[in-house]
Amino acid sequence: MRGFEGIASGIENSNFFVTTGSGRFVLTLFERLRFDELPFYLGLMHHLAARGIPCPDPVADREGVSLGWLEGKPAALVTRPAGQAVMQPRPAHCAQVGALLARMHRAALGYEGSLPNPRGIDWKAGAAPEVLPFLDRDQAALLTDELAQQRAFAASTLRAALPASAVHADLFRDNVLFESAADGSPRLGGVIDFYFAGVDTWMFDLAVAANDWCIDDATGAFDPARGDALARAYAAERPLLEAERAAWPMMLRAGALRFWLSRLHDLHLPRPAEMVTPKDPTHFERILRTRRLGVLPLP
């Protein structure tokens, strides 16, 4: 081993960069996920990597096993994609994210692992009553109304018509790595952190990305240039169905609700002994309110 370094940015797990004569890797000790849940995530990464998606690929030991125990915790070693996160993306970054997301969706179709989105409608329905006592009247009304509409949509024939597979479900800016090409243009190096993945619609996955990559952070409003770049690049790789276009407004709202609720939960009901500083829930409350007024047009 040539190098070993802790990664300070991990919020759900303990992560370490490991450099050996065979290459660069990431060692993860899982603090939240159970051992029996992890084969879905590791299997998905291996499935995608084998199909040309630039993502971490679990490393198997001599017995062909990629999941084990270390310090009493489930642990896995995965390859380390190249690049750095870009927190101020340009349309060129968003276009590459959109194109890659479409390729990920097509590649995931053959994956046999099955795990419902862990932050899907059932989780939302359970988490909402837990955070309601901490909200003011206006916030509580917003949460109650949006959840009711999302539950109705989840049971609709339109929702049932949407293509789905295992999806990333957390494709924020800090989960995509970029390098610089020789001419200075951005080049996508890899997609990381699949540990919120689950089976859901492709439009939900696209909505989660759009709600982070293509917005004005201060207002939650879409930036037209970045939004158009993301959506056009996705549609160029995988043309959208009419049902997906019809569902797009509710998918954007579903993505905003998911992260507003999870941030409210982390803030008001942290797990025991949790050391993580919770992120501001008002950011996604603002995005949800904005999505209820209007959406990003699709090409």
Instruction: Give yes or no for a contact between 240 and 196, defined as CB atoms under 8 angstroms apart.
Output: no
Instruction: Give yes or no for a contact between 213 and 99, defined as CB atoms under 8 angstroms apart.
Output: no
**Cα–Cα nearest to 37, from 135, 141, 101, 118:** 118
Token pair 């990464």 in the structure block, residue = 45
Q: What is the pLDDT along the chain (299 residues), one digit of tens a residue?
A: 455 555 555 456 777 888 876 778 899 998 889 999 999 999 999 999 999 999 999 999 888 889 999 989 999 999 999 999 999 999 999 999 999 999 999 999 999 999 999 999 999 999 999 999 999 999 999 999 999 999 999 999 999 999 999 999 999 999 999 998 778 789 999 999 999 999 999 999 999 999 999 999 999 999 999 999 999 999 999 999 999 999 999 999 999 999 999 999 999 988 754 445 678 999 999 999 999 998 888 88
Calculate the CA 215 to chain-centre distance.
16
- Amino acid identity of residue 45, one-letter, is M
Distance, in Å, from the CA atom of 182 to the CA atom of 11, rounded to the nearest integer, reads 33
* Residue 69: both structure tokens together: 């125990």
Which domains are seen in the chain, by residue range?
A: 3-79 (3.30.200.20), 91-291 (3.90.1200.10)
Burial class (CB in 10 A: 0-12, 13-18, 19+), 171: buried
Distance, in Å, from the CA atom of 217 to the CA atom of 206, rounded to the nearest integer, reads 18
Instruction: Give yes or no for a contact between 179 and 189, defined as CB atoms under 8 angstroms apart.
Output: yes
For residue 274, count other CB atoms closer than 10 A to its CB.
Answer: 13
